[in-house]
Structure 1
């Protein structure tokens, strides 16, 4: 029982019922004590570490169930990172009710982008975490000044577009998998447009070189035919992020596809039918992904020197055969 989780719910201001509630699952490092609360209610106390833990909020892909990211949340919590998964069923577009990362499309047009956040879930999630940190099992255990936003697929794009301390002062960085900052022509952007990202905080962009979903979705951005698996993720790194601090990274994983971050996979929802087959060991790929993300958070963001060294080794193609390429700026 080295990792446990608690549940919480949050109401989203301005959202219409019944699509106005987010349900959180918060994973934390645990230390059983044999108490009556543990035996009777399953309330296992947090590990007695010296310092409060940083927090990672993982934004899901559209219609990807929260359980598919549970393996990652457990791995991050084992490494001292409280990890928040959440479910928000809402109407993203008229008539399209889905499990959503939470995105405000009104703030994602050529006239509005960059003026206000597009992550409609983040304020409610942070407010819920403040309540958790004030009362109950995890009281005082969360470092809410060190929050990292991450995500997969559409959730990864939301994370990238909102890694901005002017909007969310408690944010310290962002990681994404299978996500980019290309601008949709359906929202009024010109063909082949790339959105500019805030350059004040660190980024870790991870791509799978077998990502069939990104390749098949290129028509959304003005392509007349399918493009490559990693092209727009690479362009996000080179064109959308203007930083030379040495804390922004792009890593491509050999053999990984769009849904390599999920386990177990659920093909009854989402767009897994567009993906290409992964190559190699899926377990090894997941282990690599978890090491990269935890190393980025603990090393690059939290300043743990051993974690930073481990992260640098994990990114190096000479040390890790799963790394197809690594870029840093």
Structure 2
């Protein structure tokens, strides 16, 4: 069994205003016990399992006001597959005067004049800098494959991930996945109601959504209309994507809500009050999310052909939790 351990790191964000200029990272990695019992027991310093290195790296971008702790369950499951996973907390101003946890959303890149010309993931350059440091010294030195960085996210974090997943922006990025995220355009920025913006077309992408996503359903006025279904903007984002390589996926989960990917859920902050109740067992939903993401990475980053077949079979083997899957 893989031992999952984590270390902490902090990094400054260039150009961010004090005191909102520091990101705190938690980096999860596969470990194995050292013969140095004193180091293991008194300092908690357990070496990485270098037999599995070099490790592809997953960076998880949370939703607004969602603590990184809510994604630790997913980080753990992905580390058990031989990946290194980064979660992070960044307290900053999401909007002027509104301080909270943010995945890092560069609003200036989202207007009709600027969209697609620069990445919206404002935290990512600092996170990549921190990974360079971790690959230079410490328990992960020389063990990270920083040419295989997978971007993953939830809600607003998922949006900035799929908008920024381009080698033109970040040559290290090789794939992206998002839960409860879409690219519907905010009408206050000058877009027509119902506009769906394109995403870069160079990398494999998986979109996952839940049919009971109350946050998407109850936030549709931001986009100038009422969605037919909670998953409509996710499906339309997928439809907008270029196809032809069979590495772009849409997975809709029956009975899953917006915060199905967050566990435990902190109901004292964020928009959980907008969500609908899940109608399927939440543990079963999380298992399916983790399995789908893991197979996606195995298939399109690690190039394991059997994982592509396993991913295609995922829905039929997990009904009724899984509702629909498409690939193009």
Q: Provide the secondary structure at the position in 2 that maps to 1:39.
A: helix
Structure 2: state its 5+ residue gaps. Answer: none
8 Å contact from structure 1 (residues 217, 226) kept in 2:
no
Structure 1 runs (4+) greater than 6 angstroms displaced: none
Q: State yes or no: 1:177 paired with 2:179.
A: yes
8 Å contact from structure 1 (residues 216, 227) kept in 2:
no
Give me the whole-angstrom Cα distance separating, in 2, the residues matched to 1:42 and 1:320. 42
Give me the whole-angstrom Cα distance separating, in 1, the residues matched to 2:199 and 2:128. 22
Alignment-derived partner of residue 237 in structure 1? 238
Alignment-derived partner of residue 17 in structure 2? 16
RMSD: 1.3
Match of 1:165 among 151, 163, 167: 167
| Offset at residue 34 of structure 1 (A) | 4.4
Q: Provide the secondary structure at the position in 1 that maps to 2:244.
A: coil
Which aligned pairs between 1:78-89 and structure 2 lie closer than 5 A?
78-89=80-91
Give me the whole-angstrom Cα distance separating, in 2, the residues matched to 1:166 and 1:282. 37
Q: Provide the secondary structure at the position in 2 that maps to 1:134.
A: coil
- What's the CA shift string for 1:23-49, capped at 9, x where partnerless? 000011111124222112101111132
Alignment-derived partner of residue 323 in structure 2? 324
* TM-score normalised over the length of structure 2: 0.96
Alignment-derived partner of residue 59 in structure 2? 57
- What's the CA shift string for 1:237-262, capped at 9, x where partnerless? 002x1121100000011111000001
Give me the whole-angstrom Cα distance separating, in 2, the residues matched to 1:12 and 1:263. 28
Which aligned pairs between 1:130-149 and structure 2 lie closer than 5 A?
130-149=132-151
Give me the whole-angstrom Cα distance separating, in 2, the residues matched to 1:280 and 1:136. 42
Alignment-derived partner of residue 246 in structure 2? 246
Which aligned pairs between 1:217-228 and structure 2 lie closer than 5 A?
217-223=219-225, 225=226, 227-228=228-229
* TM-score normalised over the length of structure 1: 0.96
Give me the whole-angstrom Cα distance separating, in 2, the residues matched to 1:140 and 1:248. 31
| Offset at residue 196 of structure 1 (A) | 1.0
- What's the CA shift string for 1:162-189, capped at 9, x where partnerless? 1111010010011000000111112222
Structure 1: state its 5+ residue gaps. Answer: none
| Offset at residue 50 of structure 1 (A) | 4.4
